[in-house]
Amino acid sequence: MKILSVLGTRPEAVKMAPIIRLLRETAGIESRVCNTAQHRQMIDQVLDLFEIQPEYDLDLMREGQTMAQVSAGVFTHLDPILGEFNPDWVLAVGDTTTVVTTSLLAFYRKIKFGHIEAGLRTHNKWHPFPEEINRRLATVTADLHFAPTAWSQGNLLREGIEPEKIFVTGNPVIDALNYVAHQEEPKEITGLLNTLGITDHAAKRLILVTAHRRENFGQGMENICHALRQLAQREDVEIVYPVHLNPNVQEPVNRILSDVKHVTLLPPLDYLPLVHLMKRASLILTDSGGIQEEAPTFGIPVLVMRETTERPEGIEAGILKLVGTEPSRIIREAKRLLDDPAEYTKMAKTANPYGDGHAAERIINALLSTSRG
């Protein structure tokens, strides 16, 4: 069986990595990888960490690229690869421009498409933009749907997908997380935390921040930055924010948060140091999807700076809370957790509803059994 795994951004590489590693060890499978390189530096770090050398690299990233430009690049350059390799299956994860264009190309060539992280929904066309529509389109073209949870499976069933085409696998991000969380804490993180005075029992607490979503560009990012600026007035916190390379993120963050006491802005971190920083955080403020899935493993409360989430399982479990981007709300919710130990303990639970670290096995078993059947 020939399988082509396609990825293009950092989170796709993290989530596909455990599957690609296991595919190459599985007898009877010829596995190849195509990196559209919708991201460049950010994805290369992840591929190095997981020791993956893609057979194909479309090298599509351009400074300030539009979604249309990325799409045009994938259409032009992935199609001949599908023609030459002629895989039995194409796999992709999630809801980016890379995923939606890949799923369409597979359809045009009548190659089966396996959609990983299928069935996530906000049911709001514009939130997140453009991901909600990208993942719905990927569902329409997919032949197998690897839903991370029973909730995402339910969404697919309600949309009329045949039950036998859906496999509940957990999210492979937890497989990836387990791979790096057990590795030693990188020296750069130990050094940074020592410099900031964050030791295990210190009165100072680490707040880890990430924010990069398209629907937060403009006013949302401005609001988030102003909220952080105010939170940083507290003497008992250190805010660490690795800043995404997108210019729409870089500009407001650097303008509002450079040289603010108790705020450390970093370049995007490699996955290994990011996971270790997450482990040491007392609180996470984020608009990222992956971090919502990862943080429950470490029992760290997450305030989600978005209006909607396609990952309600963590909210129901009480580990995540949606707080939007209004500065007063972000500050109020953060203070509640920092100042009220009972509120903090209520949210700091270590059960992870998104996966158990065995998603890659389940996905590959499903591919093998479907092909045999």
Q: Whole-number minimum distance, CB 10 to ligand UD1, in Å?
A: 5
Rounded CA gap, 146 and 169, in Å?
Answer: 6
Q: Where are the beta strands (DSSP E) in the chain?
A: 2-7, 30-35, 56-57, 89-93, 112-116, 144-147, 166-168, 205-210, 237-242, 263-266, 283-286, 302-304, 320-322
Catalytic residue of the set 24, 127, 136, 214: 214
Catalytic residue of the set 32, 39, 117, 215: 117
Nearer CB in complex with ligand UD1: 38/155: 38
Q: Annotated catalytic, 131?
A: yes
Nearer CB in complex with ligand UD1: 130/324: 130
- Residues within the interface to ligand UD1 (CB under 6 A): 9-11, 38-42, 61, 63-65, 67, 96-97, 130-131, 212, 214, 245-247
Q: Whole-number minimum distance, CB 135 to ligand UD1, in Å?
A: 10
Nearer CB in complex with ligand UD1: 94/170: 94
Q: Whole-number minimum distance, CB 41 to ligand UD1, in Å?
A: 4
Task: Collapse the DSSP code of 43 into the 3-class scheme (helix H, G, I; strand E, B; otherwise coil) and give the result.
Answer: helix
Catalytic residue of the set 10, 12, 32, 95: 95
Tokens of 290: 């992956």
Q: Annotated catalytic, 145?
A: no
Confirm if 367 and 90 have CB atoms less than 8 A apart: no
Q: Annotated catalytic, 63?
A: no
Q: Annotated catalytic, 343?
A: no
Tokens of 292: 């919502």
Catalytic residue of the set 212, 262, 276, 306: 212
Q: Annotated catalytic, 77?
A: no
Q: Annotated catalytic, 244?
A: yes
Rg of the chain in Å (alpha carbons): 20
Rounded CA gap, 350 and 280, in Å?
Answer: 14
Rounded CA gap, 307 and 285, in Å?
Answer: 14
Q: Whole-number minimum distance, CB 372 to ligand UD1, in Å?
A: 34
Q: What residues are annotated to the active site?
A: 95, 117, 131, 212, 214, 244
